[in-house]
Structure 1
């Protein structure tokens, strides 16, 4: 099927350059490989500087290359019956490697031999080396077009910048010895330990509680830990996200190449995905809590957030989803027939279903839009789209009914209820205060909603090209637009106490960016002259300059309702956006006039000039993010952050790891420690199960399906909800406060074999405990007893 988005991939006659001399070919080859050391070495040095040991880096890189990227790339090429350039195939191949690793680990863990998952890549490499018909997959086809040197440099630069920023922002702030004082990282670490030893998993910090969560990424981390011998803590804080983040720009570049048949939209899509941020033309700063968590003036799904590292589920699924969408696009265009591609598509759907809950629903919405558009425009059913729907729906049902137990996870339908909770509402008092929800109504809700929509238009303004140039004739366009619309609709219609509705837009962001880049490609002539290119670059610079120029014109302090009144607070939000709108209209007029009278070379480029201005308007905020983090690092001499005063009992790591080394994975542990902070009791206590890799009778009870349900019903903050099974908690705590044959026996009858004790609070543990159970280990304030 011919695509209206994709341009011919091969040059026309007469466009081929004369063959280069051997010396010239060597120079070109060297130039193409230079980005690897130029951008990769600084990232590795930064990772080592902030705590990643050279030995761990070498082992992790070798494992990723040999066991994931290489067999995955071979399978990707074999399934397509075509080997494109390595620049196009490597990132999707790495994603295939992760899919194979997860599925292989499930089989190996079920068989009780977790290292058996290594047999999958070993067998694949042997088959591809031995089978004559498959040996061609080891190298690109002779007629495969190589990625231009500029594309490689641009994409490598984007990946290198992102990796360097991640080291400076995330690794540096974690310190060389991290305290795990926030709740999310010990939560993730505990689930890695659970998947190392159990399948299917349960909540390890609360016995008997189902794990209603997307947990496939923890299986992948567990498999990596088994294979490399690297501690899960090191993987989580230092290594795991490096290949995922580094490969994402290349995956987006490959997808954009497949969509448009042109190379330059790939880096553009990567820039929009990673660095296109809601415009911020205001003079005051947002609350630091919002800035640190990537929640800008409005919700824009920005990836420059702490969650890029603190949420391995999102980072893992972000890479896997791009090849999944590429496979779906091939199938919609009629290029994805055959059982190898169908099997690969099914494998991706199966793993994505348990990797992140947001991806399959937005993909389903995109497919339904394809079906609807085809039915309305061509009066026929789009059979390939219906076939993909038939594959995606079971994945969604499996995730919702089996993995999530049919629970809502605290998500509620509340149209426009979450918009006032972001930075504009928080800084002005028109909406949220910190993370507490304050309903936004009336004119304030109208203003914030309009500003939100305008910010989305600025980031993804290139979408207009799909409508101007009839790009909707290609089924890829309605697919991407439908996925983007689903992410936007989720943010507008849903609300969650922990901002979880934002992950729908985070998931949809790459596909909005791909659609915007494809729309821009439809607007830009295939032969763009240097003059035209300079004019478009000037338009983007002009948009960015306009944002920076507007900031000093407004108030430097937050115009809160309490200080200046509701009307002036609204005026402070509206005025800069009106001026930006006037500037964009003026840019359109100038582009039209230049094209009509003064500069005929720009004829027809007025829409493109407007899009370039909008892209420029959205970039200063990302520059602010990067500059802020670099300044903080520079002020600290780029040294790792000093160790925090830990909330964990001193000696937790050592005691928990002793318990891990001297107990059976099926042993149940009891503890007297339940509250991360005592008043009120913060139930997000996961440290012991995280480091011990063992299940606990009652450690904490936060981040569970029951807490989510209670929170949705009562509106209470999830981390301070009391434990609902007070009789069980009383039995657990009695063994520590009043040890004796009866209280210890009560734990033994429940299957408890070990006690892990926080000895800092005498009110929770008796000195007579050692008279009834055997002390086996003590580190700092953490002690291990055996029943």
Structure 2
């Protein structure tokens, strides 16, 4: 087995003392990794490959409607006002030796946290200048103090093989199909009618709320609090405020091209920090972007990024930085203010994506149990970190969510009804639900397959006495189990599993490399055989059963074929007496290959072109409606309240899909009542399935006042609306409206699809 190159804490303290620095006290007497011998033959850092990949993504964004100036200035804004101070902060606190990838990924996590705080201040005060100046002041303060400047300058960057940079850059290509599909559906402008993805105008409305007014109110409903994980929206607002790009361009074009780089750099950085091995980093990135989970049929392969959910990928740097801080603390490395950093990253991750920090709490809890069994001297430090993360989550629940759970409810029966077998067969029979539970749990755990195999090793590094491995596996288990017991509007409970993928992939990469270093010829042959049967287990079921809704018999056929093929190789390993570790390794290899094959198939399939959109198409928005909302954004005061007569995505039907957010999203103005879908009150009252999407509005009197005035205006209604703060009126002509609102309002804009009026003061 190749040497890992470790040094005791004593040796570490002597080394730091000889360098003329006062060594920090370490928390535990555990060997700290020595990085001096790991990359002796390595040259470069792989940066040019990443730069080339990023330029290609930027070129596609420009070809899809974003101006070249906006792409350039948005990139510069992230680099100057977020990365620059963030990297300084990270280099100030991290151990002296690290990597360029780590400085970029975890420096972004620091800069992201800083941008959220700054944008809150700038938004509340309505000052664009503060968005620009405050990050530079933070950077200047760090560089102005001799001690902090010296610490930043002394932080060294270890080289890595150039091929690692190439692997990381190429792995971003797996996001290309989803970016293309997203760009095709969500345009920046158009003629005729288009049907953008349902959530994008909700995300845009939230972003403009943070840009123009700060985190004070729900922009789509009056008197509703901003109880949501809104940190990503503050980041989007900060990029828009510090560049020439609009919030529309940042959300719909820039964020999707940045997201893949944040994910791959964060995973590579965590792998390097945990092991110092380029091979682990390459495998971790590959499994994150292409491994997904076990897939014996269509549709299971996934990655921890999705342009339709901007909060998912943006949360990854803070999530993995949190793990890196814990690992360095547990290993006694020279990190500054570890508990403060841990609390900050836990808070930021929770405020960016609510499905992140709970995973780390579950991972720490499992780690504490494992350490009590195998390494009791580690139990205290793990317990302290667990307490810090729990405290950070509780603070986020108060400060960010205000006690709201966003409709997350403990309901195993409802959760299992959304599982693959139940949704495919449209059956709620108990045996179908049980199969669904087993399938969901197995696919979720399979992301960390080789991590579980590593538990067979009795080692403090990549073995069952390694607290970091237990933490990664505990988070994976939590991510796999959460969709079994929780239900949330829009099946958002599955984000727990997606958020766990980088942690699971890191665990698998660590376990696979540890196994590789202890390999023998027989094990290698078994792994190759397992890979072949894994490929067959993915391919054969979809040849027997076509894609689409399944009957109960077809579902059992799919699972039986895949399961039998997956079981062949471990049985063969057991027959030849290969040992428990080899049997587990063959299972892990076969399972992971099914996910990789599924991912490759999905990523290389032809993308469907958007079909023609007519006015009656579900979710259709006309160019005239869009233009009227844009007029509002240019002429209405940023704090002005707007009313509208459209609240439903569809034009016909008795049940209203209340996820209509276009006016607030494009204008950036707060609404009296637009769409009430996703609002905290509705989500809490109707948490199951699509209930919150089609639930009636809670204040029917307000809705009657709003719609009644636009359909039949009266002086009393005009006065009541004025007293509520309404100053502008947006009329969608596809809904009932009066031919004129005079004398109560003055016309400002009109086309064949929409009108804009300005409400007159009742006193005049």
TM-score scaled to structure 1, two decimals?
0.83
1:542 aligns with 2:514: no
Q: 1:683 aligns with which of 637, 646, 658?
A: 658
Out of 653, 671, 679, the position equivalent to 1:704 is 679
Where structure 2 has 5 or more consecutive residues not aligned to the other structure, the ranges are: 1-7, 10-28
Identify the residue that residue 612 of structure 1 maps to in structure 2: 589
1:467 aligns with 2:440: no
For residues 570 and 607 of structure 1, what CA distance do their matches in structure 2 show? 26
Q: Distance in 2 between matches of 1:632 and 1:469?
A: 44
Q: Distance in 1 between matches of 2:730 and 2:282?
A: 51
Tell me what 2:16 maps to. Answer: none
* Distance of 1:196 and 1:70 partners within structure 2: 21
Q: Relative to 1, partners in 2 of residues 1:4 and 1:505: Cα closer, same or farther, differing over 3 Å?
A: farther
In structure 2, C-alpha distance between the alignment counterparts of 1:114 and 1:34, rounded to whole Å: 33
| 2:516 is aligned with 1:524 | yes
Match in the other structure for 2:503: 511
Residues 85 and 140, structure 1, Cα contact 8 Å, conserved in 2: no
The answer to whether 1:578 aligns with 2:563 is yes
Cα deviations across residues 692-715 of structure 1 (Å, max 9, x unaligned)? Answer: 1111112222211222233248x7
Q: How much has 1:59 moved relative to structure 2? A: 1.0
2: CA distance, partners of 1:694 / 1:643: 27
Specify the alignment match of 2:215 in structure 1.
Answer: 200
SS at match of 1:346: helix
- Between 395-404 and 606-615, the greater mean CA deviation after superposition: 606-615
2:360 is matched with: 363
Of 314, 319, 333, which aligns to 2:312? 314
Task: State which of 421, 425, 429 in structure 1 corresponds to 2:422.
Answer: 425
Paired with 1:553 and 1:641, the residues of 2 have a C-alpha distance of 28
Partner of 2:134: 120
CA distance in 1, matches of 2:436, 2:95: 50
User: How far 1:683 moved relative to its partner?
Assistant: 1.6
- Give CA-to-partner distance per residue, 1:21-40, whole Å, 9 cap, x none: xxxx9xx65x9455246533
Residue 332 of structure 1: aligned partner: 330
Equivalence for 2:24: none
8 Å CA contact 2:197, 2:308 repeated in 1 = no
Distance 1:552 1:719 in 2: 33
d(CA) in 2 for partners of 1:644, 1:152 = 46
The 5 Å alignment of 1:433-472 reads 438-442=427-431, 444-456=432-444, 458-470=446-458, 471-472=463-464
Greater mean deviation of Cα atoms: 43-52 or 221-230: 43-52
Aligned mates of 2:283, 2:52 — CA distance in 1: 21
Q: TM-score, normalised by structure 2?
A: 0.86
1:215–1:644 CA distance, 2 compared to 1 (3 A): farther
CA distance in structure 1 between the partners assigned to 2:722 and 2:292 by the alignment: 55
Matched-pair contact (CA < 8 Å) for 1:469–1:523 = no
Q: Is 1:324–1:348's contact at 8 Å kept on the other side of the alignment?
A: yes
- 1:79 corresponds to: 93
- In structure 1, distance between residues paired with 2:526 and 2:184: 37
1:476 to 452, 468, 474: 468
Match of 1:753 among 706, 720, 727: 727
CA distance in 1, matches of 2:268, 2:591: 21
CA distance 1:541–1:378, shift in 2 (3 Å)? closer
1:135-284 to structure 2, matched below 5 A, reads 135=149, 144-159=157-172, 161-175=173-187, 177=189, 179=194, 181-282=196-297
Gap change, CA 1:317 and 1:33, over 3 Å in 2: closer
Q: Quote the residue 2:15 is aligned against.
A: none
- Give the superposition deviation at 1:524: 1.9
Superposition deviation, residue 623 in structure 1: 1.2
Query: For 2:757 and 2:436, how far apart are their aligned partners in 1?
Result: 56
Q: Secondary structure at the match of 2:676?
A: coil
What is the CA-CA distance between 1:190 and the residue it aligns to? 0.8
What's the counterpart of residue 600 of structure 1?
none
- Is 1:91 matched with 2:108? no
Asked if 2 retains the 8 angstrom alpha-carbon contact of 1:249 and 1:270, the reply is: yes
1:701 match: secondary structure: coil
CA distance in 2, matches of 1:145, 1:591: 44
1:554 maps onto 2:547 in alignment: no
- Report the Cα offset of residue 158 of structure 1: 0.8
Query: Which 5+ residue runs of structure 1 have no aligned equivalent?
Result: 18-24, 286-290, 433-437, 596-602
CA-to-partner distance for each residue in 1:422-473, whole Å, 9 max, x for gaps? Answer: 433333x1xx4xxxxx53412x233333334443454322023331112121
Alpha-carbon offset, residue 227 of structure 1: 1.0
More moved, 234-243 vs 702-711: 702-711
Say if 2:753 is the partner of 1:727: no
The verdict on how the C-alpha distance between 1:406 and 1:33 changes in structure 2, with shifts beyond 3 A counting, is closer
CA gap 1:380/1:606 in 2 versus in 1, 3 angstroms: closer
- C-alpha contact (below 8 Å) 1:366/1:483 kept by paired residues: yes
Shift of 1:544: 4.5
Range 536-545 or range 352-361, more displaced:
536-545
